[in-house]
A and B are shown apart, each in its own frame.
Chain A
Amino acid sequence: MNSYQEKNDLLAKSEFQENLDVLREVYFFSEFPLEVLKVFAYLCIREKYKEGDIIFSQNDDDGRAYYILSGQARLSRSHENKEVLVRTCGENTFFGAFTLAGMANRLFSLTALTNTCCLILTREKFQDTISQFPDSRQYIIQGLSDSIISWEEKYLNENINCDSCRSIMGVSLI
């Protein structure tokens, strides 16, 4: 019995409904009106990666946002021909609000550490949807600035005593 069947039998929910539940939990999407979220949820795709598969690569503009539904992935950055581990990402991690907003080359690579399943929304579909609901553009900016501020707030709380960190603090001032 494959995972699709299992889901149908146990949860009796469509993939669309599951996607909708996920998106409502994601910071970037949570403020969008329900009618827009429904379209996002319908347009999301799921992709499975096996251990060692590259999910996205540094310097590529893959134009997709990812939400890890299951599994673990390694976020790394290649620097002077060395691969530096940034952190390990597990279930419920979301990447890609900036990618959805506009073209941006990846600064990191993400590689599956175990069998991983991601929920994916492409920039093209995201933008197509936004053009159908022009009023919802405000939520993109709001979502991005909220993300930056909450990130910096967390960073400040954790590193305020770190002398070398202070010189790069203030991303939210941009």
Chain B
Amino acid sequence: MEKKQSVVKRTLFSWVSSSSLKLQASLILIAIVMVVVCVFPLEMQKRIVNEAIILKKFDLLLFYCLGYFLAVSAASALKYLSIIIQTQISQQVMAEMRKKLYSHIISLPLDFFRKTQPGLVVNSLVAELNVPSNFVGMAIAVPVINILTLLAFAVYLFYLNPLLAIISFSIYPVIIFLVPILQKRANLANKTRVDLSRKLSGRIAESISGIHEIHGSGAYCIENNKFSNLVKKLLKIRVTWTRYREGVKVTNNFFTSLGPLIIFILGGYLAINGRLDLGALVAFLSAQEKLYTPWKELIEFYQVYQNATVTYNRTMKYFDIDKVYDIAPVDRDTYELTGALEVKNLSFVTEDGIRLLTDINISLKPGEQLALIGFSGSGKSTLAKCIAQLCKYSDGQVIVDDKEVQALTKLDVVRNIGFVPQEPFMFQGTVEENLLYSCAAIHEEAGKSPATCKPGLDDMVRLLQQTGTFIDILRFGLSALISRDHDQELAERIIKVRRKFQATFEEDLEGYIEFFQDDKYLYHLSITENLIFGTPRQKSYAGESLLNNKIFIDFLNQADLTRPLLKLGAQLSEQTLDILGNLSPNPALFEKSPLAPEELDSFKELAERLKRTKLHQLTKEDKDQLLALALRFTPGRHKMVALPKMLENLILEGRALFKDTVTARKPQDFISYDEAEYIFSQPILNNIFFGKITNSTLHVQEKINKCIVQLLIEEDLLDLIIEKGLRYDVGSKGENLSGGQKQKLSIVRALLKDPKILIMDEATSALDNNSQSRIQNLLETKLRGKTTLISVIHRLDIIKNYDKIAVMKAGKIVEIGTYEQLMSMQGVLYELVSGKK
């Protein structure tokens, strides 16, 4: 089978020949017609002067003017059409270039990405391909149209007056000589510009990726200086580039503008002597002037060509790196290996000549388990990566069954080897999509539908339980909102669970949950929520807009709440400012504050006014500010002020009043908390509780989860909630997941493809003791004998049951054997374990 040419080896012109030939042919056709319609007005011009005006024939004047009009209209329409077709071609080519280059880039060796900033790749794919693809769009049309037009005008000029024609063309050789000299310099500047733009994109990407470090170290100046230096350089080179580029245009303009001067002198002389008629002189001047447009476009085309070549070659050259491994086998099926692993005399030396691994020898039978331990920097992770084909080793061999790992295709490796890194990556999408990522990839590459790798829910649940991920998924499912239109039946079942939950667990969970009860104040709800005691359906009853709601303000007055709330607001403001007033706005410190960091200044000013004024003398704006603060006061969260008992009772009375007056009058504006009704604006969990959790710490969560799981099993709802949990959106880079959750999901992801060799590179480092033990248990019981395991471990208390332990030091294996053997040798492992103790 013939190998396809790599995108980075293709010339810019190869894109022209591979672009839509139909569109290119239609452009040529348009070009020919355009030439005719461009010359036609010149002839009309001549005839208008010579035949219509001089012979005073009005009907001819009208006739020729009509011809002129039609030709100009057709020329404009054709020009528009040719631009549309060119754009179509260049956009198609750009899409194709992007797809192919992206596909090439993501298959490049990992080493390349260690040295390459993501921003640079983004810049290349997004910005730098614009000019080359624009060039491809115009590569045929522009030269054809303009050269034909130029030729047509030239022929017409010769037809009018050969001598004048020769003289007026004499300036073009000068231009042809000068322009390339200037363009060469522009190209040099452009090359530097492309490199600098790439560097600038890389720098931006690096700063954004390391933004935590910048904030943490307050290194704003350092980063600003680095960025400014690059911007300065880029500015300088862009100015130079523009200078030469515009120099080309100005030189061209200057010389072409000299054309009419020559015609005036020579043509004027000939006309005065009667050797040239006036009409011919006018037509000649017009034609000569019209030469300028195609010529200008040709020069511009030349510049685009030069820019495109430089940008294209520079971009492709950067990514012109050979792929180390083929993606899929060509003339055979993917290998199904048994997992026997032999590492022989393996060494790894970096490009800088630093030796990270020396003479490593390991032998594992299928299903055996090896722990790799040692100090940081001893080469454990590098060795794990070499075995997983993620690092290209310099010397020696890694043999799985009888196959050398370096010679395997990527598909062979991913089919047989699972790799779990210390910091796994999650892609934006659902939990399920992330779990099935590796499995679906194998199916897709092998030409099967990715959907076929989907395991049954029971298998998935079993694996989730074995890895301790089940509770996380359940929690995600319980945080889902359900739809009033589609999930009515589920809502009714959850209400049943709610009743059972309160009846069964109220006592066990006392102090952890505040249940919604009409006559009880909820300390983990705001004052507004305690008053309304339901979900508003109108924006005018939500958030700060309440203060503009006359009905609500009247209600506060009627319930005698306005003044005590103002007083509470003032007290809250005073206390919060006393504690946090002088802190810099770190959001973590304001989590339990009723004041947001950005409100500090305005409340400080208000506090100053309060020192000079009585509460009732404040302006409406000041009062609103205090009232808003008091209404968001949540005693269970904002602990700087105690809620006075008197106010608490007033609020409870206010709740009843609100229900009897406002809610009764405007039932469409609220959904009151009602034990028999599902609250669609709240997640499933809150609907089961029908209340608010007062404590979100781990041990409380575990207790609540246990109760919920018990009930969901009893009500046959567990699978449904797990399915909802699997559809949970993990956010960009998995931002909605904790480090431990990412690690657990990554382990499940690897196990789902059922690899024969599993490599775990400190894959449980972010897990708590319980989760770590659970995973260890899974490895020791379910995987032993089935999957060959290589586990890079930093905790020494979990290595005892491994079949072999390899202790690494400075890139070498200094000891290898069972735990008992190594401990009895009293070597490095013994020292490490004793040191720990």
Interface set of A (CB-CB < 8 Å, partner B): 2, 4-5, 7-9, 12-16, 19, 35, 38-39, 42-43, 47-49, 53-54, 57, 59-60, 124-125, 128-129, 131-132
Given contacts A15-B642, A48-B511, contact A43 B583 (CB under 8 A): no
Output the least CB separation between A90 and chain B (Å).
20
Kindly state the separation between the CA atoms of A19 and B700 in the bound complex, as whole angstroms. 22
Q: Is B642's CB under 8 angstroms from A48's CB?
A: no
Q: Is A128's CB under 8 angstroms from B586's CB?
A: yes
Kindly state the separation between the CA atoms of A47 and B512 in the bound complex, as whole angstroms. 9
With A8-B642, A39-B580, A47-B695 known, 19 other A-B pairs at CB within 8 A are A2-B511, A8-B644, A12-B642, A14-B639, A14-B642, A15-B639, A16-B579, A16-B640, A38-B578, A39-B589, A42-B579, A42-B593, A48-B512, A48-B695, A54-B699, A57-B769, A132-B583, A132-B586, A132-B589
Chain B residues in 8 Å Cβ range of A129? 589
Output the least CB separation between A20 and chain B (Å).
10
Nearest 7 A/B pairs, CB to CB = A15-B639, A14-B642, A16-B640, A8-B642, A16-B639, A42-B579, A38-B579
Chain B residues in 8 Å Cβ range of A53? 699
B576's closest neighbor in chain A, by CB?
Answer: A42
* 0/1 string, B571-582, CB within 8 A of A gives 1: 000010011101
Kindly state the separation between the CA atoms of A54 and B699 in the bound complex, as whole angstroms. 8
* Most chain A C-beta atoms within 10 Å of own C-beta, residue among B584, B586, B642, B768: B642
Between-chain CB contacts (< 8 Å), 7 pairs: A2-B511, A4-B635, A5-B645, A5-B648, A12-B642, A16-B639, A47-B697
Chain A residues in 8 Å Cβ range of B579? 16, 38-39, 42
Partner of A13, one of B580, B584, B642, B697: B642
B592 beta carbon closer than 8 Å to chain A: yes
Interface of A is mostly: helix
B641 beta carbon closer than 8 Å to chain A: yes
Given contacts A16-B575, A47-B695, contact A42 B642 (CB under 8 A): no
B106 beta carbon closer than 8 Å to chain A: no
A14's closest neighbor in chain B, by CB?
Answer: B642
Kindly state the separation between the CA atoms of A53 and B635 in the bound complex, as whole angstroms. 26
Output the least CB separation between B837 and chain A (Å).
10
Kindly state the separation between the CA atoms of A14 and B574 in the bound complex, as whole angstroms. 14
Output the least CB separation between A74 and chain B (Å).
16
B216's closest neighbor in chain A, by CB?
Answer: A131
A40's closest neighbor in chain B, by CB?
Answer: B579
Kindly state the separation between the CA atoms of A4 and B643 in the bound complex, as whole angstroms. 10
* Most chain A C-beta atoms within 10 Å of own C-beta, residue among B523, B580, B588, B639: B639
Interface set of B (CB-CB < 8 Å, partner A): 511-512, 523, 575, 578-580, 582-584, 586, 588-589, 592-593, 635-636, 639-645, 648, 695, 697, 699-700, 768-769, 797
Output the least CB separation between A143 and chain B (Å).
21
Chain B residues in 8 Å Cβ range of A47? 695, 697, 700
* Most chain B C-beta atoms within 10 Å of own C-beta, residue among A15, A124, A125: A15
Chain A residues in 8 Å Cβ range of B580? 39, 42
Chain B residues in 8 Å Cβ range of A16? 575, 579, 639-641
Chain B residues in 8 Å Cβ range of A59? 769, 797
A19's closest neighbor in chain B, by CB?
Answer: B639
Q: Is B584's CB under 8 angstroms from A125's CB?
A: no
Kindly state the separation between the CA atoms of A19 and B592 in the bound complex, as whole angstroms. 15
Kindly state the separation between the CA atoms of A49 and B512 in the bound complex, as whole angstroms. 10
Kindly state the separation between the CA atoms of A137 and B759 in the bound complex, as whole angstroms. 43
B695's closest neighbor in chain A, by CB?
Answer: A47
Chain A residues in 8 Å Cβ range of B578? 38
Kindly state the separation between the CA atoms of A35 and B581 in the bound complex, as whole angstroms. 10
A3's closest neighbor in chain B, by CB?
Answer: B511
Q: Is B635's CB under 8 angstroms from A39's CB?
A: no
Chain A residues in 8 Å Cβ range of B593? 42
Chain B residues in 8 Å Cβ range of A4? 523, 635-636
Kindly state the separation between the CA atoms of A59 and B797 in the bound complex, as whole angstroms. 10
Chain B residues in 8 Å Cβ range of A49? 699
Q: Is B695's CB under 8 angstroms from A8's CB?
A: no
A120's closest neighbor in chain B, by CB?
Answer: B697
Output the least CB separation between A133 and chain B (Å).
9
Output the least CB separation between A117 and chain B (Å).
9
* Most chain A C-beta atoms within 10 Å of own C-beta, residue among B580, B645, B699: B699
Output the least CB separation between A123 and chain B (Å).
12
Output the least CB separation between B50 and chain A (Å).
90
Q: Is B589's CB under 8 angstroms from A43's CB?
A: yes
A56's closest neighbor in chain B, by CB?
Answer: B699
Chain B residues in 8 Å Cβ range of A125? 588-589
Chain B residues in 8 Å Cβ range of A14? 575, 639-642
Output the least CB separation between A79 and chain B (Å).
10
Kindly state the separation between the CA atoms of A47 and B643 in the bound complex, as whole angstroms. 20
Kindly state the separation between the CA atoms of A16 and B578 in the bound complex, as whole angstroms. 12
Chain B residues in 8 Å Cβ range of A9? 645
Kindly state the separation between the CA atoms of A20 and B644 in the bound complex, as whole angstroms. 20
Q: Is B586's CB under 8 angstroms from A42's CB?
A: no
Kindly state the separation between the CA atoms of A48 and B697 in the bound complex, as whole angstroms. 10
Output the least CB separation between B524 and chain A (Å).
10
Chain B residues in 8 Å Cβ range of A54? 699
Given contacts A57-B769, A60-B769, contact A42 B584 (CB under 8 A): no
Chain A residues in 8 Å Cβ range of B523? 4
Q: Is B640's CB under 8 angstroms from A39's CB?
A: no
Output the least CB separation between B588 and chain A (Å).
5
A54's closest neighbor in chain B, by CB?
Answer: B699
Kindly state the separation between the CA atoms of A43 and B580 in the bound complex, as whole angstroms. 11
Output the least CB separation between B740 and chain A (Å).
12
A12's closest neighbor in chain B, by CB?
Answer: B642
Kindly state the separation between the CA atoms of A117 and B390 in the bound complex, as whole angstroms. 51
Output the least CB separation between A8 and chain B (Å).
5
Output the least CB separation between B325 and chain A (Å).
40
* Most chain B C-beta atoms within 10 Å of own C-beta, residue among A12, A48, A49, A131: A48
Q: Is B768's CB under 8 angstroms from A60's CB?
A: yes
Q: Is B575's CB under 8 angstroms from A128's CB?
A: no
Q: Is B584's CB under 8 angstroms from A132's CB?
A: yes
A106's closest neighbor in chain B, by CB?
Answer: B769
Chain A residues in 8 Å Cβ range of B589? 39, 43, 125, 128-129, 132
Q: Is A124's CB under 8 angstroms from B645's CB?
A: no
Q: Is A39's CB under 8 angstroms from B592's CB?
A: no
Q: Is A8's CB under 8 angstroms from B575's CB?
A: no
Kindly state the separation between the CA atoms of A42 and B582 in the bound complex, as whole angstroms. 14
Output the least CB separation between B602 and chain A (Å).
21
Output the least CB separation between B652 and chain A (Å).
12
Kindly state the separation between the CA atoms of A14 and B633 in the bound complex, as whole angstroms. 13
Output the least CB separation between A26 and chain B (Å).
18
Chain B residues in 8 Å Cβ range of A131? 586
Q: Is B769's CB under 8 angstroms from A39's CB?
A: no
Output the least CB separation between B567 and chain A (Å).
15
Q: Is A8's CB under 8 angstroms from B768's CB?
A: no
Partner of A42, one of B511, B640, B697: B640
Output the least CB separation between A163 and chain B (Å).
24
Chain B residues in 8 Å Cβ range of A12? 642
Given contacts A9-B645, A47-B697, contact A42 B639 (CB under 8 A): yes
Q: Is B592's CB under 8 angstroms from A43's CB?
A: yes
Chain A residues in 8 Å Cβ range of B644? 8
Output the least CB separation between A51 and chain B (Å).
12
Kindly state the separation between the CA atoms of A13 and B642 in the bound complex, as whole angstroms. 6
Partner of B592, one of A35, A42, A128: A42
Output the least CB separation between B527 and chain A (Å).
15
Chain A residues in 8 Å Cβ range of B697? 47
Kindly state the separation between the CA atoms of A57 and B511 in the bound complex, as whole angstroms. 23
Chain A residues in 8 Å Cβ range of B768? 60
Kindly state the separation between the CA atoms of A19 and B575 in the bound complex, as whole angstroms. 14
Chain A residues in 8 Å Cβ range of B583? 39, 132
Kindly state the separation between the CA atoms of A150 and B579 in the bound complex, as whole angstroms. 32
Output the least CB separation between A61 and chain B (Å).
9
Chain A residues in 8 Å Cβ range of B699? 49, 53-54
Kindly state the separation between the CA atoms of A132 and B695 in the bound complex, as whole angstroms. 27
Kindly state the separation between the CA atoms of A53 and B645 in the bound complex, as whole angstroms. 32
Output the least CB separation between B650 and chain A (Å).
14
Chain A residues in 8 Å Cβ range of B639? 14-16, 19, 42
